[in-house]
């Protein structure tokens, strides 16, 4: 089935907050502090009330990128999922939980290790696989995109992103988490079709525009900095942030983390994003330092014709640590352009075809042992240092 467009039908809100408002709540841990923080969110936002939620089909969309335990800060913490489920139950929502992790990983292992399966079992909430539940082809903004039926057929997507650095997009939070409504290997194919940052940023915006209303609570209690989204360093940020506008939420998070939103391709104005500067309320959150990765975002600081002309001097590509590599082949399976080949010798890392690499970071995302870093050429590092982008 093909939709010509899935229009966002705004719900009738009982709310004193504007669509673009962002509420920050200080939250020190995933125990007692989390319980009171989530209760405060549902109390202080007003629109998170029974009148707006009762009887609605709500899909909770956490970040389940890969099969990591909660302490590694790669995925949405399961206790946040539990608290949100409990609050939505009190409001009378019809709840399901779902996501589509990276295509190279085992889905049941993702559910188990992230703790999501245990929470859904405890709370008697259906946990669905987007791959198994089916997808629909949506036509929007001149693109044909396969999107999970569960995401298209619900009334509200309750988005629970993890606040992390990202080697391709600098930041991954509310908007980027919606890329997970694309099932399975379709995500890989879209990376191949949109190898440049501007095109990928516009794609992510289009995906958002196809979906029902998206309400988000960002998990910034323990985030990730450095070589995110899967192999960075857990960092104590101690906040939750909530909004009905994922773009406003991510712009506000950029402000807290000291990131220029124009460096984030799905927030960049030249990708068609209309900035609605959010009104921020709640607790004052100040993060003194947040390390962003050395990654493909630096290519955006150089004119594309220069990148093509000096391809041998200006590049970002994966670099393998042979001492850490366990020869699992996950990076090879994740590569959308078949730029990696697994060597027969187990003491050698995969071989990279530099001409095929599109700098998408898919291999970096799925590596289970942090054996891959996204590295820039010396000349690009100089450009980044000169422009203050590193």
pLDDT-wise least confident of 42-46, 139-143, 153-157: 139-143
The pTM of this model reads 0.90
Confidence of residue 294 (pLDDT cuts 50, 70, 90): low
Distance from C-alpha of 191 to C-alpha of 248, rounded to nearest angstrom? 25
210 close to 376: Cβ distance less than 8 angstroms: no
| Confidence check: pLDDT of 5 > 70 | no
Confidence of residue 295 (pLDDT cuts 50, 70, 90): low
Confidence of residue 313 (pLDDT cuts 50, 70, 90): low
Distance from C-alpha of 136 to C-alpha of 53, rounded to nearest angstrom? 25
Can you give the pLDDT at residue 300? 58
Q: Which residue has better confidence, 92 or 306?
A: 92
Can you give the pLDDT at residue 136? 95
Q: Which residue has better confidence, 365 or 26?
A: 26
Confidence of residue 2 (pLDDT cuts 50, 70, 90): very low
Can you give the pLDDT at residue 15? 46
* Entry field: residues in the chain: 390
- Domains in the chain: ranges and CATH: 2-282 (3.40.50.11440), 296-387 (3.30.70.20)
Distance from C-alpha of 21 to C-alpha of 252, rounded to nearest angstrom? 9
Nearest to 182, CA basis, from 219, 142, 152:
152
| Confidence check: pLDDT of 141 > 90 | no
Q: Which residue has better confidence, 6 or 43?
A: 43
């Amino acid at each position: 089935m093909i939709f010509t467009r899935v229009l966002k039908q705004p719900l009738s809100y009982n709310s004193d907050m504007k669509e673009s408002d962002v509420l920050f709540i200080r939250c020190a841990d995933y125990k007692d502090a989390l319980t009171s923080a989530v209760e405060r969110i549902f109390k202080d936002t007003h629109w998170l009330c029974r009148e707006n939620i009762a009887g609605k089909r709500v899909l909770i969309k956490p970040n389940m990128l890969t099969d990591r335990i909660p302490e590694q800060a790669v995925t949405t913490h399961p206790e946040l999922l539990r608290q949100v489920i409990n609050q939505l139950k009190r409001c009378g929502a019809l709840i399901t939980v779902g996501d589509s992790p990276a295509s190279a990983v085992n889905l049941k292992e993702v559910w188990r290790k992230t703790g999501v399966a245990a929470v859904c079992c405890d709370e008697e909430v259906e946990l669905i696989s987007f791959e198994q539940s089916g997808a629909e082809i949506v036509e929007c903004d001149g693109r044909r995109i396969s999107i999970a039926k569960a995401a298209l057929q619900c009334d509200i997507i309750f988005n629970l992103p993890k606040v992390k650095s990202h080697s391709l997009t600098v930041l991954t939070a509310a908007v980027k988490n919606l890329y997970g409504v694309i099932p399975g290997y379709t995500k890989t194919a879209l990376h191949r079709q949109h190898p440049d940052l501007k095109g990928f940023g516009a794609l992510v915006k289009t995906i958002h525009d196809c979906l029902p209303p998206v309400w988000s609570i960002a998990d910034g209690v323990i985030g990730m900095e450095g070589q995110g989204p899967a192999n960075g360093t857990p960092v104590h940020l101690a906040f939750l942030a909530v909004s009905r506008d994922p773009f406003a939420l991510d712009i506000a998070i950029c402000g807290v983390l000291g990131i220029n939103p124009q460096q984030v391709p799905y927030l960049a104005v030249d990708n068609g994003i209309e900035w609605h500067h959010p009104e921020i309320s709640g607790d004052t959150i100040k993060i003194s330092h947040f390390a962003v990765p050395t990654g493909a975002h630096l290519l955006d600081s150089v004119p594309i014709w220069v990148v093509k002309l000096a391809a041998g001097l200006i590049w970002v590509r994966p670099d393998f640590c042979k001492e850490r590599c366990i020869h699992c082949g996950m990076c090879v399976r994740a590569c959308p352009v078949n730029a990696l080949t697994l060597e027969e010798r187990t003491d050698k890392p995969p071989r990279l075809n530099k001409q095929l690499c599109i700098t998408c970071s898919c291999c970096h995302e799925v590596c289970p042992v942090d054996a891959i870093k996204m590295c820039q050429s010396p000349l690009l590092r100089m450009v980044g240092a000169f422009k203050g982008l590193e």
